[in-house]
Amino acid sequence: MLESLVNPKRLEKGPIKMLLIGILYASLSLLLVHWFFSKDAVLSEASGMIVILFCIMFSLPFMYFIIKKEEKEDEEVAGFFRVWKIHRDAIFALMWLFVGFIIAFSFWNIILQDANLLNFQLQTYCQINSPNNLENCLNQYLGNSDSTGAAIRGLHFLSIIENNVYVMIFTLIFSLIFGAGAIFILIWNASVISAAIGIFAKYQINRIPLGLARYMVHGFPEITAYFITALAGGIFGIGIIRHGIKDKRFMKVLENVFILLFIALVILVIAAVIEVYFTPIFFR
């Protein structure tokens, strides 16, 4: 019923509407899991993934509509700037949806104080930052040790680039297999960022804006790159289905897909530079 009440066609070019829809979908996902599964001894252990599942179900109509619409428009344009111009509305719409996810996940994660709600996300975060325990993870994230010399930053930069490209490839594969399937990776990243914001904010509601600033400085361009990749993969898949590989229109679609992937790669490098060399200066 909810997907009938919220029409993707009316919301794609309304950033505030997309932000509110992202907040609504993420809030419903967390609250439904909290209300119905928090007392279940078995399902509560998988709360982090059930939250993602609900949010995916809510978001699929948007992803399907946007990718299908963008593929039709892609047949009519060529060239770097025209490709960006024709797709930027869809990319911005998805970004506002993503920001809504992060705001809602972060808010309810801190308000409800239920560690199980994003349990898988916390495990992922701490595996990356501190494999020992959550306290070490928190200390490292707050930057208690200042050992970021030029050589270490250089190694960290390469590691960040490698990880980001890996996620980009994974997003492309998901979107090729199932056009809207990349929404899983994007919602997962939003929830992991939200878990990290909870740690950074020390689960205090008044520190959420600071936590958002800490992660979105580099997270916003990084996730933009993933959305562009997801869009490129979806457009490629629909292009094959609609025209086949021998059609001239498909060759134009293919050229535009490569342009989108190039844009995504450039943005990923910029995001990594911000994360390694600029973010630590302002958020220690």
**Binning pLDDT at 50, 70 and 90, where does residue 283 land?**
low
Counting residues of the chain whose pLDDT is more than 90, the rounded percentage is 10
Counting residues of the chain whose pLDDT is more than 70, the rounded percentage is 70
Position with higher pLDDT, 83 vs 140: 83
Count of domains forming the chain: 1
Express each pLDDT in 49-70 by its tens digit: 899 999 988 888 777 777 666 5
Residue 67's pLDDT is: 67
Backbone angles phi and psi of 143, in degrees to 5: 75, 40
Residue 145's pLDDT is: 40
Query: What's the whole-number mean pLDDT along residues 162-169?
Result: 84
- CA–CA dist 221, 224 (Å, integer): 5
Express each pLDDT in 252-273 by its tens digit: 777 878 888 998 999 999 988 8
**Binning pLDDT at 50, 70 and 90, where does residue 228 land?**
confident
Tell me which residue range forms the domain holding 12. Answer: 2-282
Mean pLDDT of the chain: 76
Express each pLDDT in 97-144 by its tens digit: 888 999 999 999 889 887 778 878 877 777 665 555 556 654 544 344
